[in-house]
């Protein structure tokens, strides 16, 4: 910075103080930028490791060297979910419910291609069942309110 130096001492001190503050701000900005870069680099490394792990698992699955750890559990829960309960509700496995709520669908990577295909093909019917169940629950909650409103109207008309 080639700014003209002020004549009196107080303005020189102010000028030097401003320069020092600017330098400190620049240093802080550089440190923050370095931290962001390190964080991004760390995230990229983690993503790369996850990708490599998934690729290894996929290769092992293709060569029959690895059985998905959740295979039997998923199969059991799928058959449970497809069997109608006494309340005719869709039974969603616990880990799937958590996945829907938290947006965590990591369990899907342990499923075979056929299981994923089955899930896709049954998704529409499952969603329709859930929508129908929600409709039934809505009407079950709504009907007593409507009945109470009708009863109140009749009482008011009788007076």
Distance CA 28, CA 99 (A): 40
Residue 96 pLDDT exceeds 60? no
Average pLDDT over the chain, rounded to whole? 75
Distance CA 97, CA 89 (A): 14
Tokens, residue 45: 């490394």
Residue 90 pLDDT exceeds 50? no
Which pLDDT value is given to residue 83?
A: 44
pLDDT tens readout for residues 101-133: 566 777 778 888 888 888 888 888 888 999 999
Domain boundaries, the chain: 10-66, 68-159
């Amino acid at each position: 910075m080639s700014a003209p130096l002020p004549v009196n001492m107080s303005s020189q001190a102010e000028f030097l103080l401003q320069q020092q503050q600017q330098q400190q701000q620049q240093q802080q900005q550089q440190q923050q930028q370095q931290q962001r870069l390190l964080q991004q680099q760390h995230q990229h490394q983690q993503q790369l490791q996850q990708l490599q792990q998934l690729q290894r698992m996929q290769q092992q699955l293709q060569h029959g060297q690895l059985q998905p750890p959740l295979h039997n559990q998923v199969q059991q829960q799928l058959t449970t979910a497809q069997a109608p309960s006494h309340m005719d509700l869709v039974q969603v496995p616990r880990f799937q419910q958590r996945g829907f709520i938290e947006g965590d669908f990591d369990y899907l990577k342990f499923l075979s291609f056929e299981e994923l295909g089955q899930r896709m093909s049954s998704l529409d019917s499952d969603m329709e069942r859930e929508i129908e169940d929600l409709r039934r629950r809505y009407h079950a909650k709504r009907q007593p309110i409507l009945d109470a409103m009708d009863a109140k109207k009749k009482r008011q008309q009788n007076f």
